[in-house]
A and B are shown apart, each in its own frame.
Chain A
């Protein structure tokens, strides 16, 4: 006679476990479906890294390129000093090769405050940026990082901070 009571209980257990399993699976799938890695965000970071890396390390941008004499008969050789900014190049502005079509804001300031220079793609590097330009840059919702660099100016290395922002 005991089985008449146990059989419905077993059925309830099976039904209950099945319901819980299905509900859990459904909720799990719904939760996993919510995970979304922003493709736009990913590309933006790679773009930022590659652009700043080129600015700091490439002689086509701001990196210092020095020439030195090889032993007699071997001529001269050039060496790129990655991470060292050539003040002359920076003062000349951001070239098209360097910016690769992007709108870039670069701010170089020495730690002792003697050097300060702001650049914006498409603006005359010899003219200070206008207030409207600076206000516009402030509104860029973009990644912003500081790099510790050395600036080569008048045969001297000057510690400085390079700040780069790229318009998205």
Chain B
């Protein structure tokens, strides 16, 4: 009986200690710095405002006027010369004056980080993004846009980064009837059937083919065998009221913005106040 009584007291003591430890843990955990459920809930709510601040600041940052034109232009220059000193100094100066919190900015192209500004010390942040388009001459695969003019029967050739496009404007005539859309004369154009393998697919959008001032073709340029097809838009329009019917043919590449721009990601420290 003594043994049983001793065991009972031991178990009771153990159970009491365990309960006290759990109780102390529950009440003590909220006094650990940085641990509380309540601030997490607040942070989610506050991110709405934080994101607004991030977007406004970043948007105005890249269009801020400076010696090159805008800070966005300075960014392009920095990227082309791979010297981010001026951009970094200006950006840091502005954001340090404006931000009441810490910030980090990443510069990336096609999801590849090229440079980082600010203090990259870890903190919970709200991100936002802005794109600065690259100038076409420095990024050959992007932003192809070319305008050519041709009369009836002329062959028009485009040399794009993704392949050659050849088309022939045939059977063009103009009429001065039915004024639509502000133009006085309207060309009606036809084109030969798919002229080269560079153009794959039938025209998908044609506006007013019988009496038109604007014809739009959605085409794909590329090598069909390699299944690399890049979307382009071909626009045939009558640019003036000249009854001779000078036809303007405009070929534009439908770029992916992340491939043809510098992406700026700004991370602003979450406000936990």
Contact = CB atoms under 8 A, between A and B. Distances in A.
Interface of A: 5, 8-9, 12-13, 15-16, 19-20, 23-24, 27-28, 30-31, 34-37, 41-42, 45-46, 48-49, 52-53, 56, 71-74, 82-84, 111, 143-150, 156-157, 159, 161
Contacts of A73: 182
A38 to B, nearest CB: 8
A48 B94 contact: no
A125 B26 CA distance: 55
Nearest to A17: B15
B23 interface: yes
Given A23-B22, A24-B22, A71-B182, A49 B49 contact: yes
Given A83-B59, A145-B53, A20 B18 contact: yes
A113 B234 CA distance: 50
A166 B126 CA distance: 23
Contacts of A41: 42, 45
A51 B49 CA distance: 10
A10 B94 CA distance: 71
A23 B11 contact: no
B60 A83 contact: yes
A30 B27 CA distance: 10
A149 B42 contact: no
B52 A46 contact: no
B32 interface: no
Nearest first, the 7 A-B pairs at minimum CB distance are A73-B182, A49-B49, A16-B15, A148-B98, A12-B11, A148-B57, A23-B19
